[in-house]
Amino acid sequence: MTTTGPAHAAPRPPAALAEPVAPVRRGWIALLFSANLGLWMAFFTPIQILLPQQISAISPVGKENLLALVTGLGALAAVIANPLAGALSDRSTPRLGRRFFGRRHLWTVAAALLGAGSLALLAGQRTIAGVALAWVAAQLCLNAMLATLTAAVPDRVPVTQRGRVSGWIGIPQALGLVVGAVLVTTLVTGVQAGYLAVAAALLVLVLPFALLTPDDALPRTHRPPLRARALVASMWISPRAYPDFAWAWLTRFLVQTGNALGTLYLLYFLTDRVRHRDPEGGLLVLILLYTVGMMATAVLGGRASDRSGRRRIFVIISGVIMAVAALLLAIWPLWPVALVAALLLGAGYGVYLAVDAALITQVLPRAGDRAKDLGVINIANSAPQVLGPAISAPIVVYLGGYPTLYAVTAALTLLGSALVLNIRTVP
């Protein structure tokens, strides 16, 4: 006879490792939204506006290849920093500030402070080598922060709420660039002032989340041993043991590679192909339209996915929409077409970000490695920033120019979204 009861029940995991069941409140979502807004402003405003201007001023000849080199080095640093910082935060039981911080927030605060300092350092660079080194430092810090902020969703948000919450915190990926673009083109002038303004905004927007929201501590009895060899080995997640995680990684990698190919040279595309009379102003308009499309669909798409319980069909639909936008740019490099493409791309990417982010949290291998595993997923975001410049520069210069570039963007996006059908444990 089998005896059941409390004496034989499995021990309950600590709060830091338990699957969340209580819905998060609007105030928590708003603070996480703000933190992500500051983070993505610091990521994208330099990449899309400040770095191209700074590099063009230092070396007008060969600016495309130099921009590719700098952003590629930064992305390579991101590939290393994101999962490593995630793994360390998974194991953190901090003595410093333990009354206020659990596993994640101390890392967030430190990364924000160091990231702001790196952007300030970047502002004063007058050589390509200096720009590259400072941008690598910024990427290391920003990606450490990305690891901890991304882990907030599986740490605290129940599955039935993750699509909607992911929609809200996905919006800053586009809105951050809009706010950053307005900040560095309208409210302040000059590259140096732009970097300093973005650094200040990073601190103002990120720190309230780390200082005002709960952060569960990990008991020392549940902390895995911190050994260098084991830490490095943990970065490999077997596709055979966790096939759905592997497919989720691959789909994210392909879609983000397409996105990297399509967005890196937008300023130069408007200048050299569309021949817009005000390329920087035109880029701002496209960013605004992209953001409108994204904001219109991100939360709605995430909420619809939550209600239906289905994720994959929304990922496929979003991929088709983004591919259509890229093909429009490939076939008709005209300003009115670019306006339509920007709106479509934003609408598709909004749904994709919300739903794919929710899907990924449902295929994570272990609760104790959430931030590290999401850091591995984030390699699929960062690695395309390394490969994107390496692929897009030869295409633009030697292999057919911008029509070929955007056709390849469309093909990769379609393939990536279609492969989501191989994920079996999420409908």
List pLDDT tens digits, range 189-218: 899 999 999 999 999 999 999 999 998 877
CB 356 within 8 Å of CB 413: no
- Per-residue pLDDT tens for 156-185? 999 999 999 999 999 998 888 889 988 998
Question: Which of 37-41, 175-179, 380-384 is predicted with the least confidence, judged by mean pLDDT?
Answer: 380-384
**Mean pLDDT within 355-359:** 95
Q: Which of 170-174, 222-226, 320-324, 371-375 has the highest mean pLDDT?
A: 320-324
Percentage of residues of the chain with pLDDT beyond 90: 63
Percentage of residues of the chain with pLDDT beyond 70: 95
- Between residues 79 and 93, which one has the greater pLDDT? 79
Instruction: Name residue, tokens 């899309």.
Output: 48
The confidence score (pLDDT) of residue 100 equals 52
Question: Which of 283-297, 319-333, 347-361 is predicted with the least confidence, judged by mean pLDDT?
Answer: 283-297
Map residue 266 onto helix, strand or coil: helix
The confidence score (pLDDT) of residue 202 equals 98
The confidence score (pLDDT) of residue 2 equals 45
Q: pLDDT band for position 1 (50/70/90)? A: very low
**Residues 6+ positions from 361 with CB-CB distance below 8 Å:** 153, 154, 157, 159, 162, 166, 374
Q: pLDDT band for position 142 (50/70/90)? A: very high
**Residues 6+ positions from 252 with CB-CB distance below 8 Å:** 356, 360, 377, 380, 381, 416
**Statement: residue 415 has pLDDT above 90:** yes
**Statement: residue 407 has pLDDT above 50:** yes
Residue 193 vs residues 73, 124, 211, 252, 381: alpha-carbon distances, Å: 24, 10, 27, 35, 28
- Between residues 11 and 217, which one has the greater pLDDT? 217
CB 19 within 8 Å of CB 157: no
Which CATH number does the domain 26-422 belong to among 3.20.20.60, 3.30.930.10, 3.90.170.10, 1.20.1250.20? 1.20.1250.20
Question: Which of 89-98, 178-187, 224-233, 328-337 is predicted with the least confidence, judged by mean pLDDT?
Answer: 89-98
The confidence score (pLDDT) of residue 94 equals 64
Other beta carbons within 10 angstroms of residue 288's beta carbon come to: 18
Q: pLDDT band for position 8 (50/70/90)? A: low
**Mean pLDDT within 38-51:** 93
The confidence score (pLDDT) of residue 10 equals 56
- Between residues 426 and 6, which one has the greater pLDDT? 426
**Statement: residue 54 has pLDDT above 80:** yes
Q: pLDDT band for position 242 (50/70/90)? A: very high
- The whole-chain average pLDDT of the chain stands at 89
**Mean pLDDT within 100-112:** 86
Question: Which of 81-85, 304-308, 369-373, 387-391 is predicted with the least confidence, judged by mean pLDDT?
Answer: 387-391
Domain ranges of the chain: 26-422
**pTM score, two decimals?**
0.84
Q: pLDDT band for position 99 (50/70/90)? A: very low
3-class DSSP string for 53-114:
HHHHHHCCCCHHHHHHHHHHHHHHHHHHHHHHHHHHHHCCCCCCCCCCCCCCHHHHHHHHHH
